[in-house]
A and B are shown apart, each in its own frame.
Chain A
Amino acid sequence: MIIGKNLLEAKGVGVDFRINGEWLTALYNVDLSVKPGEVLALVGESGSGKSTFAMSVMALHNPNQSRVTGSIMLDGHQIVDATEAEMRELRGVKVGMIFQDPLSALNPLMKIGDQIQESMSAHSIVPKEQWQEHTIKLLDEVGISKPELVADQFPHELSGGMRQRVMIAIAIANEPDLLIADEPTTALDVTIQAQILDLIKEIQAEKNIGVLLITHDLGVVAEMADSVAVMYAGQIVERGTAEQVFENPLHPYTRSLLRANPSLDTLNDQLYVIPGVVPALSEMDHSRDLFLERVPWMQEAAKEKVSDVPAEPEEGHFVRGNAWKDFKFQDGYLEPGRGQKEAQSK
């Protein structure tokens, strides 16, 4: 089934954090892959472990407080047991990263131009005499209209959208093969979100780079992604091509997420809400299908142990556990959406 080499290939990745002297599992048995030029969306609620995975690819977890197991291959380099010096050569060069809040992610005391150049100065890919020129070119590339002026400005002088463009310029300064975008539009205005997504898509297509897009916005996924991985409680519960996952969602969690997403067709209906929250790290038993705890009519199935090897009901479409086989929504159990309730009471 493997066509071409994977740019990023994660196999059985686990991440444990030491919290108050106790090791707790945040990621469990994560399998993922991104091909060159592919956009993979990693979706899930807050606390499901999406960012934890991204930070593992960058090896940016504090080594004293965390431990990463399994295998993460990035363009032929094993990241899990790479030394800090080896990782420094990969960060920025093989993989660039964009963060959620572009204001706090930029150093308030450094000029935009200096922050972009720092990316180049960390590696010897762009020769020193071209830094200046390359900085202007990058700013131009990410759609900033007066690049010379902006290079001389500080982050607080720019708008949120401009800052995120600058972050993108920083991430692609050394022409990485993989771009990790960790909720790149969450902190932005709705009108700006689309522009930033378009820009990422444009850069991805132009440079044919792989993108790992982390988001909880299914609209973003539908617009951007070639393939989708759905994460819950530190595990991948379903993955496949975007078409497979959107047209034929299998896992109860994926189906609930899609159902909870408001759309124009469902505007007048009650908004579906998944009851409860992602369990705390200390309460996660990864040998079971953890989402079922939040489905009122599946409490029996929630206690069953499930295999770590996902089922593959259609080619390239993987789903974890057994519950997907006969899962049905039972509306009687579901509380109406909060916003809906308020609207009704008015």
Chain B
Amino acid sequence: MWKLILRRFLIMIPQLILMTILLFALAKMMPGDPFTGRFSAHTDIHTLLRLRREAGLDDPWPTQYFRWINNIFHGNLGNSFVLQKPVATLLGQRIQNTVWLGLLSLGLVYTIGIPTAVASATHEGSFRDRFWTTYNSITGGIPAFVIYIFMLFLFGFTLNWFPTTGSVSIDANGFWPVLGSRFYHLILPALSVALFSTVSLFNTLRTSLLDARSADYVRTARAKGVSNKRVFWRHIFRNSMLPVASTFGFDLVGIFSGAVILETVFGYPGMGRLFVQSITTRDYTTMNAIMLFSGTLTLIGSMLNDIIMSWVDPRIRIK
């Protein structure tokens, strides 16, 4: 097991290097540079050229690349030219918001998705099965931003039940009021995700439950005289969770990378929104840092997937 984890970790290193080269190349291929946007008729062209030289933008690209990598290794992600702050500080502020929202959303998706899939599959063809299947087909068919805007409009603006923007109220003071206010701001976006993003979990689990139900090993278990309850949980449910577990690594790292559309619609100051902001304001340093961050997360996610799968499925364990 530890060998597998180590091996999988070593594989990640060349992947990471490749990714940084790709990101660097993409950034270099983009027209303009961080100074272009601040160029006006009154700017002295010599000042601009001096600034470029001082920022090292005239150096050959390998030098620039290794400087960037070196800075990353020293925890220096550069400064945001637009927000005039170190990018690391910006990310630090946003990431906790994103993690709270991600955790709550993911938790809700699983607590809603798994029981409904079980209820559907164990009563195939019944009213509740048809209800949940139809529900998931409908919600799965509507684009997420339409749902988010609808939820925001209904519960935020029309009914005034929940705040419509931000992550915490300005008037909240002290530990508990702040925590309460944070949670209050989380509910609507998290519920919007949870109620409408269960479709893939639901469909995967329901289908695999129905498949497992008629599996030969289930028949063997029943032929042993094992109780239906145990047959279900030990054989049918456990084996059906394999396809669900196969994407759990991505779900986990998804907590950190943020949800672009969700955070934008709900005006929630997380990573996703920062990313959109950095693109619209041509804040290349921030943008690059976020891309590097989510890219690394994706690599970690796929590593986690492999580790989780080898942990739950003995057939793919590597000796």
Which residues does chain A contribute within 8 Å of B223, judged by CB atoms?
A: 58, 60, 91-92, 96-97, 171
Within 8 A of A (CB), among B236-268: 238-239, 242
Asked if B54 lies at the interface with its beta carbon under 8 angstroms from chain A, I say no
Q: Does the CB pair B216–A93 fall under 8 Å?
A: no
CA A99 to CA B223, docked complex, whole Å? 10
Closest to A100 in B: B216
The majority secondary structure among interface residues of chain B is helix
Asked if A23 lies at the interface with its beta carbon under 8 angstroms from chain B, I say no
Q: Does the CB pair B239–A118 fall under 8 Å?
A: no
Interface size band for A? 20 to 34
Asked if A101 lies at the interface with its beta carbon under 8 angstroms from chain B, I say yes
Q: Does the CB pair B313–A106 fall under 8 Å?
A: no
Asked if B52 lies at the interface with its beta carbon under 8 angstroms from chain A, I say no
The minimal Cβ–Cβ distance linking A59 to chain B, given in whole angstroms, is: 9
Asked if A88 lies at the interface with its beta carbon under 8 angstroms from chain B, I say yes
B37-45, B224-232, B271-279: which lies at the interface: B224-232
Which residues does chain A contribute within 8 Å of B66, judged by CB atoms?
A: none
Asked if A77 lies at the interface with its beta carbon under 8 angstroms from chain B, I say no
Q: Does the CB pair B226–A108 fall under 8 Å?
A: no
Interface size band for B? 20 to 34
Asked if A167 lies at the interface with its beta carbon under 8 angstroms from chain B, I say yes
The minimal Cβ–Cβ distance linking A164 to chain B, given in whole angstroms, is: 12
Q: A109-B314, A122-B226, A154-B315 are in contact. Are A104 and B221 (CB under 8 A)?
A: no
Asked if A207 lies at the interface with its beta carbon under 8 angstroms from chain B, I say no
CA A93 to CA B242, docked complex, whole Å? 32
Asked if B17 lies at the interface with its beta carbon under 8 angstroms from chain A, I say no
Asked if B222 lies at the interface with its beta carbon under 8 angstroms from chain A, I say yes
A 231-275 to B, binary, CB cutoff 8 A, 1 in contact else 0? 000000000000000000000000000000000000000000000
Which residues does chain A contribute within 8 Å of B235, judged by CB atoms?
A: 107
Within 8 A of A (CB), among B200-234: 215-217, 219-228, 230, 234
Which residues does chain A contribute within 8 Å of B225, judged by CB atoms?
A: 88-93, 119, 122-123, 174
Closest to B235 in A: A107
The minimal Cβ–Cβ distance linking B154 to chain A, given in whole angstroms, is: 42
Which residues does chain A contribute within 8 Å of B314, judged by CB atoms?
A: 108-109, 154, 156
Q: A91-B225, A118-B226 are in contact. Are A106 and B312 (CB under 8 A)?
A: no
Q: A88-B227, A107-B235 are in contact. Are A156 and B216 (CB under 8 A)?
A: no
30 contacts between A and B (CB under 8 A): A58-B222, A60-B222, A84-B228, A88-B227, A90-B225, A91-B222, A91-B223, A91-B225, A99-B219, A99-B220, A101-B216, A104-B215, A104-B216, A105-B220, A106-B217, A107-B220, A108-B217, A108-B315, A109-B238, A109-B239, A109-B242, A109-B312, A109-B313, A109-B314, A119-B225, A122-B224, A122-B230, A154-B314, A170-B224, A173-B224
Question: Interface of A with B (CB < 8 Å)?
Answer: 58, 60, 84, 88-93, 96-97, 99, 101, 104-110, 118-119, 121-123, 154, 156, 167, 170-171, 173-174
Chain A to chain B: the 6 pairs with minimum beta-carbon distance, closest first: A92-B225, A91-B225, A104-B216, A107-B217, A154-B314, A122-B225
